[in-house]
Amino acid sequence: DAGITQSPRHKVTETGTPVTLRCHQTENHRYMYWYRQDPGHGLRLIHYSYGVKDTDKGEVSDGYSVSRSKTEDFLLTLESATSSQTSVYFCAISGGQRNNEQFFGPGTRLTVL
């Protein structure tokens, strides 16, 4: 299995509070991704990174920010959590070549009350 972990695995928070999710990899892969998964929507890309300090928006980036200061860590921050951000969040990594698969972390279940 690819060395990818997410923390925390579960979190319950209140509307308006800041939340940071962490993705950590030991594979030295260049690309890292944050997705959210909601019933009926599949996996939707929030942000991705193609190198240290190099990030770009995905299709559902509003309300989220990311940072990557080291190859192995990719942080997702909800500056002021809303109930619509209740979801399961998956981090994924990839070598970045066109024929490279993405490896997914175990996921973080976030509930915003």
Nearer to another protein, 78 or 105 (CB): 105
Nearer to another protein, 11 or 79 (CB): 11
CB of 80 to another protein, least distance (A): 26
3-state secondary structure the chain: CCCEEEECCEEEECCCCCEEEEEEECCCCCEEEEEEEECCCEEEEEEEEEECCEEEECCCCCCEEEEEEECCEEEEEECCCCHHHCEEEEEEEECCCCCCCCEECCCEEEEEC
- Give the residues lining the site for another protein (CB under 8 A): 31, 33, 35, 40-45, 48, 50, 56, 58-59, 90, 94, 96-99, 101-107
CB of 90 to another protein, least distance (A): 6
Nearer to another protein, 4 or 81 (CB): 4
